[in-house]
Chains A and B, each alone.
Chain A
């Protein structure tokens, strides 16, 4: 009896396993597709939400530098300028520090120490942005106002040409402070991706250079770095994308002044910061739409830079692993 039952059930059982696989496949497929739906919805909402501003302001929105919601004047330039300047300042500080530290971690430090320090650096990347902002308001800003900015004014500020960047009253808040805080926040990303690119460089490359009599530094700089170049550029772009979209810490220290200043010591504004500050209070039809259009600009900026970063990182790490 028992064996008969088994024989009779065998084809049926096969069918159910197939059905099980098909159901499982479609279930996970639906959830995977939901990521596309969310992203599509994001683009759609940004596009629809900004329609009123796009039709009322046209391209003038991107080139005008006047921002006055009371008179319905909306120009995006001060925010784009502030976002780009602070991000650029951040990279200026974080790239040399970050790449240097990545070299130390991958080329010099023993594996144990390198892993322990990398762990600490990953913790640094996990600190919430608002905590950086909190520390920046109460420690960095007073330090900038009383010490760093007066010092810069009396040294670099006296030089021709670049002196214009370091003039005006020392508020403590402004482009320079925001750039410095962003630098601290982007360093962990630059380090961890650069370190991985450097580690992907084949051992033979280093050994060959050392065997020819190159010093450690010459090996690192002239052999390892060119090999990992693309991945390091990728890490820089990844840091840049983070810096462009960073909201809380910047909002707390940039000074929130919607105009363009030549001096880096002056207060400014960034795209993310103006959305954070004004979106919930924005009334009327065009005002919220203009803020959403700023969001759209920021969205496209970050996806272009992120895509570039990922292509470069992938190219480097796959190049290294193929040759090994």
Chain B
């Protein structure tokens, strides 16, 4: 072997090894994060965490039952608002698109998807919190819905477009009207992917805290639609940045619960519902 060939082979080996190291380093981050959360969160997770209200610092016990329920309320309402709007807008893009208006809507959906979540919080603050004269669970839901809509729109469009043309033509040839074809053929055919997209979208908004900071805010007691409402992500932020050790351990427990919910939804959506379908994110 010539000297040059040896050199080329060495470069080849070194660089390819480095790409492997980069991959390994990245992938191991997930396991480090999970390990830390399970170790630290597991120490402070107890039955009380799920059933008790927060207690002032210094007192033993206490939990985040209000934040768990609050998160479910806020995210549930956001899904109720955001999923229908996003889904129907996605149907428009995939099935009824006019060239110019369609690409404008698509562009705007991508733009909205890229807007920093804290800015969505400002929008919900001026739209809901200011007129209602106070923080409310509703304001938080609206902020999260605004984030959910473009995600669901683009996912719905993408999976409707994957439904084969022959299937649509068969329905139309049998005399079905267009909306009947969409409702009974195209949407059911793409439903697995669409559902996956919706679950991933809901999982993503359920971990958001920035848009909730000054909309749903925080509450030591049970919240509601018209009252400030605690949520797990905001509680993690407040407790982790507090100077108290017992609040820190509560934050770890809340982190473990939150990541458990988010990752379970992700794994279920990706493995069970859409086997083999990869979901690009935007």
A contact set with B: CB distance below 8 Å: 17-18, 20-21, 23-25, 27-29, 31-36, 38-39, 41-42, 45-46, 49, 96-98, 100-101, 103-105, 107-109, 117-135, 137-139, 184, 187-189, 191-192, 196, 215-218, 221, 241, 244-248, 251-252, 272, 275-276, 279-280, 292, 295, 298-299, 302-303, 306-307, 310
Contact = CB atoms under 8 A, between A and B. Distances in A.
B125 interface: yes
Contacts of A29: 92, 96
A130 B33 contact: no
A133 B110 contact: no
A137 B92 contact: no
B231 to A, nearest CB: 10
Given A45-B126, A100-B18, A131-B37, A216 B105 contact: no
A191 B116 contact: no
B104 to A, nearest CB: 7
Interface of B: 8-9, 11-12, 15-16, 18-23, 25-27, 29-30, 33, 36-37, 40, 84-85, 88-89, 91-93, 95-96, 101-102, 104-105, 108-112, 114-123, 125-127, 146, 149-150, 153, 177-180, 182, 200, 203-204, 206-210, 213-214, 217, 233, 236-237, 240-241, 248, 251-252, 255, 258-259, 262-263, 266-267, 270, 278-281
A120 B27 contact: yes
A104 B23 contact: yes
Contacts of A188: 26
A243 to B, nearest CB: 10
A134 B86 CA distance: 32
A117 B122 contact: no
Contacts of A245: 114-119
Contacts, number: 268
Given A28-B91, A130-B237, A310-B110, A100 B122 contact: no
Contacts of B114: 241, 245, 302-303, 306
A138 B248 contact: yes
Task: Tell me if A's interface is mostly helix, strand, loop or mixed.
Answer: helix
Given A17-B177, A131-B258, A217-B11, A252 B117 contact: no
Nearest to A23: B179
A10 to B, nearest CB: 11
Nearest to B91: A28
A34 B116 contact: no
Nearest to B40: A138
Contacts of A295: 118-119, 122
A136 to B, nearest CB: 9
A42 B123 contact: yes
A129 B33 CA distance: 12
A41 B123 contact: yes
A121 B259 CA distance: 15
Nearest to A113: B23
B258 A128 contact: yes
B12 A134 contact: no
A307 B105 CA distance: 14
A25 B19 contact: no
Given A29-B96, A38-B149, A123-B266, A299 B19 contact: no
- Which 7 residue pairs of A and B lie closest in terms of their CB atoms, listed nearest first? A128-B207, A245-B116, A100-B22, A24-B179, A17-B177, A28-B92, A31-B88
